């Protein structure tokens, strides 16, 4: 079982709010992608249920916590296009929150990448938050707060997650995953304080494959770019936001890329637009590298 790395002040604040019986009805967990927001959210749900502020083991199913994300939304509506979290998920959300807790004092709903919610789904969440069941608790996880409706942002208190130090990430990889100090140091330097990036650079084969694919895309020429883009978007499970994550990482790592700053800003802008608009991935990727 992995431990939580960093975010000690946030953890202490959450514990104190529970001990003082001063918890609100929900939070927005804000911060960079892969920084540890979802990990802390599940540890907090475990804390409310068992008294232990720790990451639940893989064989432990929390009885009073539910995760809503793009994969859950896809299960509800397999034929839907895109990777948004639609209104169908809000029906499941309402059903979950209005049930009584089994073991915990609260039913904890965790919405990962909440900026993927459609405006209809966000408004449904807002309606629940205006008159919530006393035993409900909502955590909206977001790495792009501009994708959230202003009414949502003003309804929930925001907790901002900051970068974790390289030394903490190195120690975590060594102690929890038995990674060598050499490899831990190398990936920690490339993680920009996001433990999830460091972990994926060692253990996530799909992530590492996408890193290499993004490198080929960035270095492509007018001659081979269309073929590389076709290869990128061809898989049925292609996800534009996930691919932009690794594009942005590569642009941040390599200061020798031509017009790097311009491409980086264009990639960030496109990342934000995806949640709100139906965009053609092929055309958007072609445009991304136009100088």
> With contact defined as beta carbons under 8 Å apart, do 174 and 181 qualify?
yes
pLDDT at 271: 80
Residues 147 and 210 in one domain: no
**How many structural domains are present in the chain?**
2
Could you give the percent of the chain with pLDDT greater than 70? 95
Query: What CA–CA distance (Å, rounded) separates 259 from 264?
Result: 9
Q: Is 259 contained in some domain? A: yes
174 within a domain of the structure (yes/no) = no
Average pLDDT, the chain: 89
Query: pTM for the complete prediction?
Result: 0.88
Same domain, 142 and 217: no
Instruction: Looking at the structure, tell me whether residues 214 and 109 fall in a common domain.
Output: no
What is the pLDDT averaged over residues 182-198?
97
d(CA 80, CA 221): 34
In a domain, 185, yes or no: no
pLDDT score of 264: 83
- Give yes or no for residue 156 having a pLDDT over 70: yes
Percent of the chain with pLDDT over 90: 63
Give the pLDDT band of residue 210 (cuts 50, 70, 90).
Answer: very high
249-266 pLDDT tens trace: 999 898 877 778 888 888
183: in domain: no
pLDDT value of residue 200: 96
The alpha helices in 51-149, defined as continuous H runs, are 70-76, 87-97, 119-130
Residues 27 and 150 in one domain: yes
* Tokens 């102690």 -> residue: 175
**Statement to judge: residues 120 and 239 lie in one domain:** no
The stretch 208-215 carries a mean pLDDT of 94
With cut-offs at 50, 70 and 90, classify the pLDDT of residue 59: low
Confidence band, pLDDT 50/70/90 cuts, at residue 170: very high
Is residue 2, in this structure, part of any structural domain at all?
A: no
Query: Is there a contact between 77 and 121 (Cβ–Cβ < 8 Å)?
Result: no
Q: Does 15 share its domain with 155?
A: yes
Q: Would you give the end-to-end CA distance of the chain in angstroms? A: 46
Tell whether 184 is covered by a domain: no
CB atoms within 10 A of CB 116: 24
- Quick one: how far is CA 256 from the chain centroid? 29
Pair (140, 217) in one structural domain: no
- Tell me what pLDDT residue 240 has: 86
Instruction: Please tell me whether residues 33 and 134 are part of one structural domain.
Output: yes
Does a structural domain hold residue 193? Answer: no
pLDDT band at 81 (very low <50, low <70, confident <90, very high): low
Q: At 215, is the pLDDT very low, low, confident or very high (cuts 50, 70, 90)?
A: very high
- What pLDDT score was predicted for residue 277? 57
Residues 126 and 248 in one domain: no
**Separation between Cα atoms, residue 237 and residue 233, nearest integer Å:** 9
CATH (domain of 153): 3.40.50.300
Q: Which of 101, 128, 160 is the last residue of a domain?
A: 160
Does residue 220 share a domain with residue 89? no
Do residues 273 and 279 touch, judged by C-beta distance below 8 A? yes
Confidence band for 9, pLDDT divided at 50, 70 and 90 = very high
**End position of a domain, from candidates 92, 126, 160:** 160
pLDDT score for 75: 73
Res. 19: pLDDT tops 80: yes
Domain that holds residue 271: 204-288
Most confident among 23-32, 77-86, 87-96 (mean pLDDT): 23-32
Round to whole Å and give the CA distance between 168 and 27.
26
In a domain, 65, yes or no: yes
pLDDT of residue 37: 97
**Average pLDDT of 72-82?**
67
One domain, residues 153 and 208: no
pLDDT digits (tens, 9 = 90+) for 269-283: 888 777 655 678 888
Q: Which of 86, 111, 97 is nearest to 30 (CA)?
A: 111
Same domain (yes/no): 146, 248: no
**pLDDT over threshold 60, residue 219:** yes
Chain centroid offset of residue 40 CA: 12
Give the Cα separation of 91 and 86 in Å (integer). Answer: 10
């Amino acid at each position: 079982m992995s431990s939580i790395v960093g975010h000690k002040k946030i953890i202490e604040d959450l514990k104190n709010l529970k001990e003082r019986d001063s918890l609100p009805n929900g939070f927005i967990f804000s911060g960079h992608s892969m920084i540890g927001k979802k990990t802390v959210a599940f540890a907090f749900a475990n804390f409310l249920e068992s008294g232990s502020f720790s990451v639940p083991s893989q064989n432990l199913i929390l009885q009073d916590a539910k995760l809503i994300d793009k994969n859950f939304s896809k299960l509800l509506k397999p034929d839907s296009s895109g990777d948004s979290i639609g209104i169908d998920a809000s029906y499941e959300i309402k059903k979950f929150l209005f049930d009584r807790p089994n073991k915990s004092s609260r039913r904890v709903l965790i919405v990962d990448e909440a900026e993927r919610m459609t405006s209809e789904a966000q408004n449904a969440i807002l309606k629940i938050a205006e008159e919530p069941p006393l035993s409900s608790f909502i955590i909206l996880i977001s790495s792009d707060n501009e994708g959230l409706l202003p009414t949502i942002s003003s309804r929930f208190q925001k907790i901002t997650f900051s970068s974790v130090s390289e030394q903490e990430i190195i120690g975590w990889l060594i102690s929890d995953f038995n990674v060598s100090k050499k490899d831990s140091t190398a990936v920690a330097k490339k993680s920009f304080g996001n433990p999830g990036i460091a972990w994926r650079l060692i253990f996530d084969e799909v992530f590492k494959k996408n890193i290499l694919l993004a490198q080929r895309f960035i270095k492509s020429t007018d001659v081979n770019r269309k073929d590389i883009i076709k290869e990128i978007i061809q898989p049925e499970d292609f996800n534009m936001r996930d691919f932009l994550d690794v594009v942005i990482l590569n642009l941040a790592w390599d200061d020798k890329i031509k017009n790097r700053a311009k491409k980086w800003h264009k990639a960030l802008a496109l990342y934000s637009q995806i949640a709100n608009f139906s965009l053609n991935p092929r055309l958007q990727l072609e445009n991304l590298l136009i100088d």
